[in-house]
Chains A and B, each alone.
Chain A
Amino acid sequence: MRSGMANFSKSNVPQFAVDVYQNEYLPEGGREVNAIVTVTATGGGTVGSALAAPHLYSPGQGPSAAVALMVDCSGSMDYPPTKMRNARDATAAAIDTLRDGVHFTVVAGTHVAKEVYPGGGRLAVADATTRAQAKQALRSLGAGGGTAIGTWLRLADRLLATADVAIRHGILLTDGRNEHESPEDLRAALDSCAGRFTCDARGVGTDWEVKEVTGIASALLGTADIVADPAGLAADFTRMMETAMGKEVADVALRLWTPVGTTVKFVKQVAPTVEELTGRRTEAGPRAGDYPTGSWGDESRDYHVCVEVPAAGLGQEMLAARVSLVIPEPGGSVQNLGAQGLVRAVWTDDMAASTSINPQVAHYTGQAELAQAIQQGLDLRKAGDIDGATAKLGRAVQLAGASGNADTAKLLAKVVDVVDAAAGTVRLKAKVEEADEMTLETRSTKTVRVKK
């Protein structure tokens, strides 16, 4: 079943719609209710042609935004030398994609963070002149020093906070491990930045740590990816900046109301990527909590909500959860985005009804398991547990094939030899390119939607 409606309208803010897919029927004594909640934002006024020709996009037409570009300038960026050059070119391409009027800054990151442009603790406002000046400033970028990503993020946060804008976003590029600060330092930096700006993270080459990059993107509600070949950076940076320029509304939270006696077992984003949100709940009044979703352009995401309700008698019906979207505002109030979806529970003695699994729930349960199987399989492989790794990656091959996740299947095939995809029988490849293994790990959380 599906339910929900959108009726929110305001200039420059997309209309949100909430659709709920679930089997609401429970057997006698049944308590667990699963639902896939699809949130779709449309009509926010994002103009594709304006993105393709940003110089024609006059100030004030898009939402006010500020962007910080954080470029790794540690010593390793000079090996090979093309890496630094590609990073400069990619940053220049991203600057060219900035819409006129958008505030921006370029930060050079080593064991410390340094403002490259415009400097002085300020943000520049994008126009032809500032874009040219920024690109000129990139020429001074040189490699040398260590890596302390937490310092980059804290500087970006301070700079982004100087502008009174709707959207704050970072783009972070690193080529190495976060060796010059403790994991706790990075964690603390992420905690202090979470909710203040969103950030995409990219690892270039193969000498960086996947869990660091994905952890940054996860904490700051952005995307993570690998750019194994530095030559691919410019295109990737352009795409990232286009997406950032398409964001219309920031700090949207999924609000979940549940009745008394109900336990939220988990809330996770399941499309376009798997993102666990259960532990990121902020209490929002009686029996309600907010889960952060970051900023939105015209896009659609799916969430898997699982709650445990008190058992009720046959023929009873109850509301197991009410899903809505809000933007928290200073002072504790919220802006309600109007759309809402109802997750219901109905107890029946019709076994055919209560035992069927909603196709969306089944699909995303499989996609979440796929992501977990890949991560566990690769961890076991690194730990030398060949049998364990083979079993987990075999299961991943099976799930990827059954669900039609072709991209992930392709990545898996570079790490294992598939004997029988349907049965999940695989052999670990004796020799695996590091880039292939890192790509699989970085992209393991990418999901596909239900086949129609």
Chain B
Amino acid sequence: MSQMPQQAAVPKCPSCEEPLESGDRFCGACGYDLSVVPARPEDSPTLAVNGAVPAPDGVDWPVARDSDGHGHPAPLHAAAELPGTDSGGSPLLPPPPPAPPTAPPAAPAAAAQSPAPGVRFDRPDEPDEYPLQAPDPRLTGEHGAAAQVPAPPAGPPAAEKVCVACRAGRVDDDGYCENCGHAQPRERDHMEQESGPVAAVSDRGLRHHRNEDAFSVGCTALPDGAPASVAIVCDGVSSATRPDDASLAASRAAGDSLLGALPRGTHPQQAMHDAILAASRAVNALADEPATAREQAPHQNAPACTLVGAVVTAGLLVVGWVGDSRVYWVPADRSTPPARLTEDDSWAAQMVAAGLMNEAEAYADERAHAITGWLGADAYELEPHTASFKPDRAGVVVVCTDGLWNYAESAEEMAEAVPLDAAARPLHGARVLVGHALDGGGHDNVTVALLPFPAPPQGAGSA
């Protein structure tokens, strides 16, 4: 991904948005301790561009002075206090004999160099810069913590054999009405799934004949027993062959990869990077397969899709993406600003990034939504983007395809659409968001996953 231009906007107080002057140590308006905000690191972070909220550190995470300073009854857990459970709520298997940790146990040192919250790292080989709790060697090792269920279809009842269109014909084996010929609802037309605290909903929308989106959600536990939740959302590229196969393969491969790596102690950002590579391989492999009878075309091209994913662990939010599917952060306290956490691999974003157009010009162009990055054998060069965030407060992470964000583009619009109880009722929240897109016209397939982000454990965010 090309670099985004550094925001030249005046720095503002992270707490009250009062413009700051260089050298200020406390906000002149609210007295916020600005020393809590570390200096910008040197690793050319890209910024979440949602124009409305420019900030010196990219996404301007509101940093709390005190973790209990907002009056929210957010649960404060030390990671180790949470027993890992599988998606059914059952206790995890006892850990097997210890194995060498795969993540560097260098938390204190790393914490000392802790970069600003909200800084994105596109270099996954440096995950040790994050103040993660060191893996407990007694708990490290592979065990059956991963709990992932493939997205179950919410298909029609099995007994339903009469055509939904004409109500007269029988439905034959290939899913068409024997009387009027109309295609019957397919299992992927509408899918819903809950896994632990995470939920996702995907819908065909109102204008497309099939759902080319796919998702994968799951939850697992880190080696120290702290819970981790995972969501992957993929959008098949319609101009390519078998887009629905691509999105399904990518979402499954990435989900499986994450749920396998996290319990082994792999740093979540590294795990996200690896998951994108695994998804890429899965999509590439489709191009080598003999085409299915149904979709074989004389001049087919390689299947392709976008991917966006998020991992939530105690105190840490990792996102990863390729393409124009997005992650939004919506804090539980709606008086604090929401943010978009991903930067599209799109023509418009690149034009803006290169300084060739302003945002308004770029997004008005008919090429605006052409994606410049994707998973698939014909991708020029795979550039997985990953970023880590350490929100200091509770909220909900929205992982979605453009079928949703086309109807809630800015972070503020998205926050508006997310129900207030989304963290407590993520499935309901995801349904509401899909409904928002359908009410807006449902021109595309719509997929959204919601991951509640609990308020971080006390002290986890500062060193």
Listed in ascending order, the chain A residues whose CB lies under 8 Å from chain B are 1-5, 19, 21, 258-262, 309, 312, 314-320, 342, 346-350, 359-360
Contacts and interface: CB of A to CB of B under 8 A. Distances in A.
A309 B165 CA distance: 15
Given A315-B205, A316-B209, A259 B181 contact: yes
B207 A315 contact: yes
B293 to A, nearest CB: 5
The secondary structure that dominates the B interface is loop
Given A319-B176, A349-B207, A3 B293 contact: yes
Nearest to B293: A5
Given A2-B296, A2-B297, A347-B209, 8 more contacts: A1-B297, A2-B298, A259-B180, A319-B174, A342-B176, A348-B207, A350-B238, A359-B298
Contacts of B174: 319, 342
Interface in B115-159: none
A4 B293 contact: yes
A183 to B, nearest CB: 42
B207 A260 contact: no
B180 A318 contact: yes
Nearest to A2: B296
A312 B176 CA distance: 15
A313 B239 CA distance: 21
B27 to A, nearest CB: 51
Contacts of A3: 293-296
A242 B209 CA distance: 49
Given A2-B298, A3-B294, A260 B166 contact: yes
B182 interface: yes
Nearest to A452: B298
A318 B176 contact: yes
B336 interface: no
Contact of B179 (A259, A320, A360): A259
Contacts of A261: 180
B394 to A, nearest CB: 38
A415 to B, nearest CB: 34
B204 interface: yes
A309 B176 CA distance: 14
Given A5-B293, A259-B177, A260-B166, A318 B182 contact: yes
Contacts of A359: 298-299
Nearest to A25: B209
Contact of B182 (A2, A4, A19, A316): A316
A316 B299 CA distance: 25
17 contacts: A2-B298, A21-B298, A259-B180, A260-B169, A261-B180, A262-B181, A315-B206, A316-B182, A316-B183, A317-B182, A317-B209, A318-B165, A318-B177, A319-B182, A347-B209, A348-B207, A359-B299
A56 B339 CA distance: 84
Contacts, number: 72
Interface string B292-307: 0111111100000000
B181 A319 contact: yes
A132 B182 CA distance: 62
Contacts of B238: 350
Interface of B: 165-166, 169, 174, 176-177, 179-183, 204-210, 238, 293-299, 443
A319 B294 CA distance: 13
B296 A318 contact: no
A314 B166 CA distance: 17
Nearest to B179: A260
Contact of A312 (B182, B293, B295, B299): B182
Contact of A317 (B179, B183, B296, B443): B183
Contacts of B204: 315
Contacts of B169: 260
Contacts of B176: 318-319, 342
Contacts of A260: 166, 169, 179-181
A318 to B, nearest CB: 4
Contacts of B209: 315-317, 346-348
A318 B183 contact: yes
Contacts of A316: 182-183, 209
A320 B165 CA distance: 14
A19 B294 CA distance: 10
Contact of B181 (A320, A347, A349): A320
Residue of B174, B181, B182, B443 contacting most chain A CB atoms (<10 Å): B181
A319 B172 CA distance: 11
Given A21-B298, A315-B205, A318-B176, A309 B293 contact: no
A314 B182 contact: no
A359 B166 CA distance: 33
Contacts of B165: 318
Which 7 interchain pairs have the tightest Cβ spacing? A259-B181, A319-B176, A317-B183, A319-B181, A317-B209, A318-B181, A318-B182
Nearest to A346: B209
Contacts of A5: 293
Contacts of B208: 315, 348
Contacts of A1: 295-297
Contacts of A317: 182-183, 209-210
A309 B205 CA distance: 24
A398 to B, nearest CB: 25
Contacts of A346: 209
A402 to B, nearest CB: 19
A350 B206 CA distance: 13
A131 B174 CA distance: 53
Residue of B166, B177, B180 contacting most chain A CB atoms (<10 Å): B180
A397 to B, nearest CB: 27
Contacts of A348: 207-209
A4 B295 CA distance: 9
